C-alpha cells in the first residue's frame, strides 16, 4: 500500500482543531510512502494560510470553491479533480467535505472511501442533518472517530454501523522547550510584570464556554489580584465577550489577543490552561497544554474526560459552573508543586498516548484494512475504545 495515492478533502476557513490535525497527519502519512494530496474547499483568502502551511511541509494542495452549503458545482469540480488524481482512497473531514467529497468519490472508479468525524456538535442532532449524515455513512467504507465520545455519538445519533467505525485520537509532538520564547511571548503582550497568567485558547463561539470563564475570573482575582487572563482566539462572539468582561469590571485583568502566532510559547509561560467547553469532540488545546507542560482545568464533558486525567494531569469540573471553575484554578495557583506535577504527567501522557507517530500508524492501519486484504481489524467496538482511557 505504500505507493497508494490518498486524497484528503476538508472545508477550511482558518486554522483550528481539524486543520491542525491535518497539518500533523498529512506529512506523517507522506513519510510512510503514501502519495498524499489535499483538496481544500473554500475561498482564496479563507484557505490561503492553511495551504501555505501545507506547502511548507511538502504536501500537495489544491483549492476548490464552494459557494453554498450544498453546491452541485462543487461536487462537479471535485469529481473532475479526483478523476484526474485517480486516488486509491478518498478521506473527507467535516460535514461540507463529507457531503461534497463523498458524492464525488462515488464517481471515481475503484476509490475506497473514509470519513473522519471530529465533533459532537448539537446541530448534527437536527433531523435534516441526521438524514444527510446517514446518506454519507451508508456509502463510506470506514468512519474514523477522533475520540470515544465522538465514536459513541456517531453510532447513537448519526446511525453509523459499529463494524465500520475506528477510533484514532489526535496526536501532537511536544516542541523543544524554550523558556526565553515564553518570556518573549509575555513581553509582547505586556504581561512580563504580571502574574499569575491563566490562558484559554479557542474560537469565540458558545461551544468554548468563554462566557463561563469570564464569570469565574472575578472570584480568582479576589485571591490573586495580580492575575491576568489571556484569551487567544477570535470568532463571532468576541465583541459580546469583550463587553461582558467590561460589565464584570475585569478591565486590564483580561486580555483578548485574537489569533497569535506561536501560541505554544505563551502556553509554556502561563501557570494554568483552562478549557471551559460546553462540548468537545477532542480538544486539541489540551494536547498543546500537555506539550507545554502546563496543568489543565477543563470541563468534564465528552472527549476532555478521555484526554485530561482528573487529579493527575489536571482538574475536571462540571461544565457551565463558574464557581467550580474558579475554585479549581485557585487550587492550582495555591499549590505550585502540585500544578508542576500535573504538567509533567501531562507531557508524559502526551508522549505515550497522543504522539503523532501513534496517530499516523493507526490511520495507516485503517487504510491497510481497505487497501490490503490482510489488514488488521482495529474495530472501535471490539477494542471498547480503551486506547484513550486509563
The predicted-structure confidence for 48-68, as pLDDT tens digits, reads as follows 999 999 999 999 999 999 999
Is 332 in the same domain as 281? yes
Please state, in angstroms and rounded to a whole number, the distance separating the CA atoms of residues 371 and 59. 21
Q: Are residues 148 and 183 in the same domain?
A: no
Judgement on whether residues 20 and 107 belong to the same structural domain of the protein? yes
Condensed to tens digits (0 to 9), the pLDDT of residues 89-117 reads 999 999 999 999 999 999 999 999 999 99
Mean pLDDT check: name the lowest of 7-11, 29-33, 256-260. Answer: 256-260
Banded model confidence at residue 382, pLDDT cuts 50, 70, 90: very low
Q: Do 159 and 248 sit in the same domain of this protein? A: no
d(CA 325, CA 16): 24
Residues 206 and 223 in one domain: yes
- Is 388's pLDDT higher than 90? no
Give pLDDT tens digits for 164-218: 999 999 999 887 667 778 888 888 888 877 779 999 999 999 999 999 999 999 9
Structural domain for 253, as ranges:
179-353
**Residue 389 confidence class, pLDDT cut points 50, 70, 90:** very low
What is residue 2's predicted lDDT score, i.e. its pLDDT?
55
DSSP-assigned letters across all residues of 280-349: -S--HHHHHHHHTT--EEEES-TTHHHHS-BTTTEEEE-TT-HHHHHHHHHHHHT-HHHHHHHHHHHHHH
pLDDT value for 381:
35
Our count of domains for the chain comes to 2
Note whether 243 and 119 are same-domain residues.
Answer: no
In tens, the pLDDT along 278-309 reads 999 999 999 999 999 999 999 999 999 999 99
In our burial notation (b when 16+ CB lie closer than 10 A, e otherwise), range 190-214 reads ebeeebbbbbbbbbbeebbbbbbbb
Residue 374, pLDDT above cutoff 70: no
pLDDT for position 378 = 43
User: What is the secondary structure of 216-281 as a DSSP string?
Assistant: HHHHHHHH-TT-EEEEEB--TTHHHHHHHHHHTT-GGGEEEEES-TTHHHHHHHSSEEEE--S--S
Q: Are residues 363 and 345 in the same domain?
A: no
Q: Which CATH number does the domain housing residue 321 bear?
A: 3.40.50.2000
- Together in a domain, 95 and 190: no
Same domain (yes/no): 146, 209: no
Shared-domain flag, residues 251 and 336: yes
> Same structural domain for residues 228 and 362?
no
Q: Is residue 1 scored above 60 in pLDDT?
A: no
Rounded CA separation 59/26 (Å):
7
Q: In this structure, are 263 and 295 located in the same domain?
A: yes
Amino acid at each position: 500500500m505504500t505507493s497508494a495515492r490518498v486524497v484528503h478533502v476538508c472545508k477550511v476557513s482558518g486554522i483550528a482543531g481539524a486543520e491542525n490535525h491535518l497539518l500533523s497527519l498529512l506529512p506523517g502519512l507522506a513519510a510512510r510512502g503514501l502519495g498524499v494530496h489535499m483538496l481544500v474547499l473554500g475561498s482564496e483568502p479563507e484557505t490561503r494560510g492553511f495551504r501555505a502551511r501545507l506547502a511548507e511541509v511538502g504536501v500537495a494542495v489544491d483549492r476548490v470553491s464552494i459557494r453554498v452549503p450544498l453546491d452541485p458545482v462543487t461536487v462537479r469540480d471535485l469529481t473532475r479533480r479526483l478523476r484526474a488524481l485517480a486516488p486509491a482512497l478518498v478521506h473527507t473531514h467535516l460535514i461540507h467535505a463529507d457531503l461534497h467529497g463523498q458524492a464525488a468519490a462515488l464517481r471515481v472508479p475503484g476509490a475506497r472511501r473514509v470519513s473522519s468525524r471530529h465533533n459532537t456538535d448539537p446541530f448534527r442532532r437536527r433531523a435534516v442533518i441526521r438524514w444527510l449524515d446517514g446518506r454519507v455513512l451508508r456509502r463510506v467504507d470506514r468512519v474514523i472517530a477522533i475520540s470515544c465520545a465522538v465514536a459513541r455519538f456517531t453510532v447513537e445519533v448519526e446511525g453509523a454501523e459499529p463494524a465500520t467505525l475506528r477510533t484514532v485520537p489526535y496526536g501532537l509532538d511536544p516542541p523543544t522547550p524554550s523558556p526565553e520564547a515564553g518570556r518573549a511571548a509575555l513581553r509582547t503582550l505586556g504581561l512580563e510584570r504580571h502574574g499569575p497568567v491563566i490562558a484559554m485558547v479557542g474560537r469565540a463561539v458558545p461551544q468554548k464556554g468563554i462566557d463561563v470563564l469570564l464569570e469565574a475570573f472575578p472570584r480568582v482575582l479576589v485571591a490573586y489580584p495580580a492575575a491576568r487572563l489571556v484569551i487567544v482566539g477570535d470568532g463571532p462572539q468576541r465583541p459580546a465577550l469583550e463587553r461582558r468582561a467590561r460589565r464584570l469590571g475585569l478591565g486590564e485583568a483580561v486580555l483578548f489577543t485574537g489569533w497569535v502566532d506561536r501560541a505554544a510559547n505563551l502556553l509554556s509561560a502561563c501557570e494554568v490552561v483552562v478549557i471551559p467547553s460546553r462540548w468537545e469532540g477532542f480538544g486539541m488545546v489540551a494536547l498543546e497544554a500537555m506539550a507545554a507542560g502546563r496543568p489543565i482545568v477543563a470541563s468534564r464533558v465528552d472527549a476532555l474526560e478521555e484526554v485530561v486525567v482528573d487529579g493527575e494531569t489536571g482538574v475536571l469540573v462540571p461544565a457551565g459552573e463558574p464557581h467550580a471553575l474558579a475554585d479549581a484554578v485557585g487550587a492550582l495557583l495555591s499549590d505550585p508543586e502540585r500544578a508542576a506535577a500535573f504538567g509533567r504527567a501531562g507531557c508524559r501522557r502526551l508522549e505515550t498516548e497522543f504522539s503523532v507517530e501513534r496517530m499516523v500508524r493507526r490511520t495507516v492501519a485503517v487504510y491497510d484494512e481497505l487497501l490490503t486484504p490482510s489488514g488488521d481489524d482495529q474495530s472501535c467496538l471490539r477494542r471498547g475504545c480503551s486506547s484513550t482511557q486509563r
